[in-house]
Every structure is written in C-alpha cells, then in structure tokens.
C-alpha cells in the first residue's frame, strides 16, 4: 500500500524500483531476485488448467481413417503441441472445425499437468469418433517416407479454439499396410 504519490520529477531512483505511467512506484527486484515473468502455458500448469491427452496406440487399416474428437464446451481452449507417430507412411493428418459427429466414440481422460490440483478437464476428448461431415479444414499435414512423426511445428503451433465447438483430427493411412499410431496433444483452458 502506497502512502504518498511520488512524481518522476521529485523522485530519486532506487535500485529495484520502477515508476509506471501513472507515477506509481513498483519494486521489480525483491529478496528472490529480478521480476519473474511467466508465460500463459506455464501459468496454466500452475493454475491446474493445462491438460495432456496421450492416446493409446491405434491400428488403422491400409486406406482407412480414424478420428479424434475434442469438444470445447463452454471453455476457451488453447490447443498446442499436437503429435502423432506412426510405424507406416505416408499418412495424412487433417484438423477440422465444426465437424458433424454422429457418435463421439470412447471418452478419454485428459491428464491435468498440475499433479497436485487434479482438476478435471472441461473439454471432452474422444477416440474412434464417427463423423458424417468433416467441417472446415484448418490444417493439412503429411507424414512422408521415413519421417513417421508429425508435431505441433508441422501443424501451425497454438490454436485458440471456439467455445461449444467440435474439432476433429482425421488421420488417414495412405500406405498399403496396416499402421499403428499414437497421437496426443496438450491443451489449456481459460475462463
């Protein structure tokens, strides 16, 4: 609590202090060192609002597709760090918004990245969904040759998703052999 209103014109600067545009003094160095700045992803982990979905291995027959569904519900979700690994290539990975889902599939339990709070995810995550219309394609990526991995860098980094919307990852096995895949993503939820 500040007892006086200092002005830049009559204040002698002290180490560890700054004055903002409203002439308020703030200590930016304390007993623990300089001001700590933490990004949104790190803050979400500490607040218990960051989740990981790491799906079990799935088999995809040659020429077939599988869907993974995320239902945002009444939460603003930030999707980042998607990955998929496959023992076959080529594969196509597509990310769609507003899919028409006829059966959600098997509900998955995203893991809270703050292992002390254990708050459940608001967003619903499902594997093996049945989709009658893919929706609007946001990203198309391919696994070619011996690459066999797609990560968030291939999929455009972070996405801020709409509330109350279905999003699907469609993974298509374009090889002539059955493929085993593992897929997952990290997502944080904001109020």
| pTM for this predicted structure | 0.77
Lowest mean pLDDT among 4-13, 114-123, 163-172: 4-13
According to the model, what pLDDT value does residue 173 have? 92
Q: What are residue 11's phi and psi, to 5 degrees?
A: -115, 130
Provide, rounded to the nearest whole percent, the portion of the chain with pLDDT above 70: 76
Q: DSSP 3-state assignment of 11?
A: coil
Predicted confidence (pLDDT) per residue in 24-62, tens digit: 776 666 666 666 677 777 788 888 889 998 876 678 999
- Residue 132 tokens read as 């009658």
According to the model, what pLDDT value does residue 1 have? 47
According to the model, what pLDDT value does residue 7 have? 54
What's the gap between Cα 74 and its chain centre?
16
Instruction: Using alpha carbons, list the distances in angstroms from residue 38 to 17, 26, 42, 105, 112.
Output: 20, 18, 6, 37, 19
* pLDDT, averaged across the chain: 82
Residue spans per domain, the chain: 1-37, 47-190
What's the gap between Cα 129 and its chain centre?
20
Task: Check pLDDT > 90 for residue 130.
Answer: yes
Task: Check pLDDT > 90 for residue 17.
Answer: no
Fold of domain 47-190: Jelly Rolls (2.60.120)
* Size of the chain in residues: 191
Q: DSSP 3-state assignment of 50?
A: strand
């Amino acid at each position: 609590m500040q007892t006086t209103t200092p002005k830049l014109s009559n204040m002698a600067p002290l180490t560890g202090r700054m004055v903002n545009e409203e002439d308020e003094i703030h200590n930016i160095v304390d007993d623990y060192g300089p001001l700590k700045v933490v990004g949104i992803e790190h803050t979400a982990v500490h607040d218990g609002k960051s989740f990981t979905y790491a799906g079990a291995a799935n088999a995809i027959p040659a020429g077939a597709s599988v869907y993974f569904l995320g239902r945002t519900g009444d939460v603003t979700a930030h999707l980042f760090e998607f990955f998929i690994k496959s023992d076959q290539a080529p594969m196509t990975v597509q990310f769609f918004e507003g899919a028409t889902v006829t059966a959600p599939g098997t509900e998955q339990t995203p893991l809270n990245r703050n292992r002390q709070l254990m708050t459940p995810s608001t967003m619903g995550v499902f594997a093996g969904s049945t989709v009658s219309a893919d929706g609007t394609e946001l990203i198309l990526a391919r696994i070619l040759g011996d690459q066999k991995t797609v990560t968030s860098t291939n999929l455009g980094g972070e996405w801020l998703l709409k509330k109350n919307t279905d999003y699907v990852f469609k993974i298509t096995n374009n090889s002539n052999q059955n493929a085993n895949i593992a897929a997952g993503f990290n997502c944080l939820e904001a109020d």
